Amino acid sequence: MVDHDHGYAPNPYGGICTLVHSKFGDENGKRNIVELAEVGDWILGSGGMGRKSAGNDKIIYFMRVDEKLDFDRYLQDLRFLRREDHVDWGHGNKFALISHRYFYFGKNAISASNLPRTISLQRLFTKGPNFRRDFPISSLIRLVEWFERTYEVGMHGDPYTAKAVSVKLRMRLIG
């Protein structure tokens, strides 16, 4: 769940989506999504209840993990040098997730009701600051196919807290 969408975590700019500064595990050793994700995994970020997010049952982003770097290696990688999330705030980051195949909606977050009925919505979203890892693979395949048919890869909206609107929703023309 994306509690506040500033375009920082995830950072969808420059044709690459990075997820670095995400909620961390707790003192009991519970790991976060950035620590648990593996190359090839898909991550869906849904809106939270706060005023700085799109709201429940809204999809802010959907990204495939194409690279997983140790955080120190991410900080040394020149590809990410000018990115806003390319900084160490001393919060215990361990990894950075990089995606070249992502759909970021921000202010244009899409409603779950837009998804095909064949997608199991009750297993897609969480309530509260958490994540799920039990989404059926058959539903994931249908979800990926639907996104790839419906939207172009990349940004489809500015972050929810952005003041200006500079990015428009780009749907694929089917015909």
Is pTM beyond 0.75 here? yes
Per residue in 34-92, pLDDT (tens digit) is: 888 999 999 998 876 666 556 678 898 999 999 999 999 999 999 999 888 888 887 77
Q: In the block, which residue shows the tokens 């700019």?
A: 13
Separation CA 10–CA 42 (nearest Å): 13
- CA 61 vs CA 46, 154, 162: distances in Å: 7, 10, 16
Per residue in 37-52, pLDDT (tens digit) is: 999 999 998 876 666 5
